[in-house]
């Protein structure tokens, strides 16, 4: 086992105990010294010196100093003639020299003892840090001299190998733990090295007495010693827990990937129903209107034709939405082409005209006649604007009818094009601005919270962005910004 300074010189922790024991040692030593002195034994002073040495070594620097000072005074007071005075100058010259010599010797002993004690304490502290670090990292250290098979284990190495600290380390004991399938490997890489190696790095299994397996990583080096021997120093790390965690991480990742796929499917289903709802509602509305025109006497065939053509438009739009969503789910490329966003705006406003009329909402359009083209998929951009407008309609449900107005504006920006939809509704509720575009975020009773997240996905797929903010007076503005087609080419 690695030698342990701390164990050899452990000093009692409590001050009172250390000082108390020091007093006890002096109380025993002084009568012995007095007796020896009265018998004219010349080692009487030396007995006192031993007491000082013992005090510094066993009780530390403070008690050692007290013992030194006390001893100097005792020698003067009890052992040197004239007795019972502490005046050193009452001593004859020769005795004074002896006394000074002993005084110096005692102080020197104390100084040396203190220096040694400090060194021991530093060593003990660094030993403790090392032991802590080894315990925390589950890493022990092992040293081996080949071919003598002399082995040293650190305290943590004992723990890794599952041996109690009181047994002596040996190669046999190490091999006894190695998994039978790995014995040959451990021999060749560790116990039977024949030449120095800059890096030893391998893993093997060990079997504990209760049959559990541990995965051990060995990292070290082998150096040439005097006499042609080889000294192997290595860190042995218990990787069992780390391996278990990484296996469970891999399992969680696989589960996460599965859940993500399911979520994506769920989102797809949710977005299909969300997007298809609006054209289906329009088809139903137009069909009912058509029936009413047919029931008239005489039937109003022109109006019936208009209703039917609206039904055809909405059915085509529903079909386009479905194929678009299918493309998105297949990660197919969007059908992009240079597009005038003004046309997209007018188309969408037309699609939603009936809806707006039913809800008594005025739609104001303010289009930039020099609007630059964008490179985009038309149906996807319609989707964004339909979402913005439908949300605006919802937000104005409680706005007085005379104030229900939605404005759609297109503008060129530096190298992008922006379309904004501004409503006069409730505005974005406080504290939720950062989450509006997250999937499944909704503040509506029957909302799905999917529309704006689709808008963001589409905008970002086009190299653009969507933004939302509250207006100064009332309501909110939602904006899509896309790069100009010319900027993309450049």
Q: Which residues bind ligand ADP (CB under 6 A)?
A: 387, 391-392, 395, 423, 425-428, 436, 441-444, 447-453, 476
Q: Is 37 or 453 the residue whose CB approaches ligand ADP more closely?
A: 453
Residue 356 three-state SS: helix
As measured in angstroms, the least distance from the Cβ of 481 to ligand ADP is: 17
For strand 213-224 and strand 197-207, is the pairing parallel, antiparallel, or unpaired?
antiparallel
Task: State both tokens at 134.
Answer: 């080894």
Q: Where are the alpha helices (DSSP H) in 296-421?
A: 301-329, 341-351, 353-358, 378-395
As measured in angstroms, the least distance from the Cβ of 294 to ligand ADP is: 35
CA distance 151 to 346: 87
CA distance 118 to 174: 36
**CB distance 188 to 200 below 8 Å:** no
Residue 161 three-state SS: helix
Q: Is 193 or 428 the residue whose CB approaches ligand ADP more closely?
A: 428
CA distance 46 to 31: 13
Q: Is 65 or 452 the residue whose CB approaches ligand ADP more closely?
A: 452
**CB distance 299 to 290 below 8 Å:** no
Task: State both tokens at 158.
Answer: 């004992």
Residue 193 three-state SS: coil
Q: Is 267 or 375 the residue whose CB approaches ligand ADP more closely?
A: 267
Q: Is 416 or 453 the residue whose CB approaches ligand ADP more closely?
A: 453
* Of 221, 216, 124, 210, residue with least CA distance to 175: 216
* Of 7, 113, 120, residue with least CA distance to 67: 113
Q: Is 339 or 450 the residue whose CB approaches ligand ADP more closely?
A: 450
As measured in angstroms, the least distance from the Cβ of 326 to ligand ADP is: 21
**CB distance 110 to 52 below 8 Å:** yes
As measured in angstroms, the least distance from the Cβ of 258 to ligand ADP is: 26
In DSSP terms, 483 is beta-bridged to 416
CA distance 58 to 24: 13
As measured in angstroms, the least distance from the Cβ of 268 to ligand ADP is: 15
Q: Is 134 or 387 the residue whose CB approaches ligand ADP more closely?
A: 387
As measured in angstroms, the least distance from the Cβ of 406 to ligand ADP is: 9
Q: Is 220 or 475 the residue whose CB approaches ligand ADP more closely?
A: 475
In DSSP terms, 235 is beta-bridged to 141, 219
As measured in angstroms, the least distance from the Cβ of 368 to ligand ADP is: 22
As measured in angstroms, the least distance from the Cβ of 318 to ligand ADP is: 19
């Amino acid at each position: 086992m690695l030698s342990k300074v701390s164990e050899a010189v452990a000093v009692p922790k409590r001050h009172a105990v250390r000082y108390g024991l020091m007093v006890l040692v002096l109380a025993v030593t002084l009568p012995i010294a007095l007796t020896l002195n009265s018998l004219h034994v010349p080692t009487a002073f030396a007995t006192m010196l031993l007491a000082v040495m013992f005090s510094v070594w066993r009780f530390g620097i403070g008690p050692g100093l007290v013992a030194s000072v006390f001893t100097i005074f005792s020698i003067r007071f009890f052992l040197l003639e004239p007795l019972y005075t502490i005046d050193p100058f009452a001593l004859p010259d020769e005795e004074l020299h002896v006394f000074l010599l002993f005084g110096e010797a005692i102080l020197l002993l104390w100084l040396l003892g203190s220096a040694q004690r400090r060194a021991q304490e530093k060593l003990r502290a660094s030993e403790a840090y090392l032991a802590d670090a080894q315990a925390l990292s589950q890493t022990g250290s092992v040293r081996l001299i080949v071919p003598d098979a002399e082995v040293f284990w650190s305290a943590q190495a004992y723990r890794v190998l599952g041996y109690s600290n009181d047994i002596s380390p040996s190669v046999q004991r190490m091999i006894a733990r190695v998994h039978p399938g790995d014995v040959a490997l451990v021999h060749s890489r560790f116990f039977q090295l024949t030449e120095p190696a800059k890096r030893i790095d391998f893993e093997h299994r060990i079997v504990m007495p209760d049959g559990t397996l541990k995965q051990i990583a060995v990292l070290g080096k082998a150096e040439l010693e005097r006499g042609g021997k080889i000294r192997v120093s290595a860190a042995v790390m218990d990787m069992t827990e780390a391996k278990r965690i990484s296996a469970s991480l891999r399992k969680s990742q696989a589960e996460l990937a599965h859940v993500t796929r399911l979520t994506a499917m769920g989102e797809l289903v949710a977005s299909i129903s969300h997007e298809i709802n609006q054209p289906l509602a329009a088809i139903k509305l137009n069909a009912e209107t058509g029936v009413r025109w047919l029931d008239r006497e005489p039937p109003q065939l022109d109006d019936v034709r208009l209703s039917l053509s609206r039904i055809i438009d909405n059915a085509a739009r529903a079909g386009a939405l479905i194929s678009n969503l299918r493309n998105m789910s297949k990660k197919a490329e969007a059908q992009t082409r240079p597009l005038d966003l003004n046309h997209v705006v007018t188309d969408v406003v037309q699609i939603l005209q009936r809806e707006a009329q039913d809800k008594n909402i005025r739609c104001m359009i303010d289009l930039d006649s020099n609007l630059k083209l964008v490179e985009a998929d038309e149906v996807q951009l319609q989707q964004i604007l339909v979402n913005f407008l439908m949300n605006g309609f919802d937000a104005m449900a409680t706005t007085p009818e005379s104030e229900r107005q939605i404005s759609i504006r297109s503008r060129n920006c530096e190298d992008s094009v922006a379309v904004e939809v501004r409503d006069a509704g409730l505005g974005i509720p406080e504290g939720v601005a950062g989450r509006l575009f997250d999937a499944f975020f909704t503040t509506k009773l029957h909302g799905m919270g999917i529309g704006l997240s689709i808008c963001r996905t589409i905008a970002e797929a086009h190299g653009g962005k969507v933004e939302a903010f509250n207006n100064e007076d009332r309501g909110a503005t939602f904006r899509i910004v896309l790069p100009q087609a010319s900027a993309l080419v450049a």
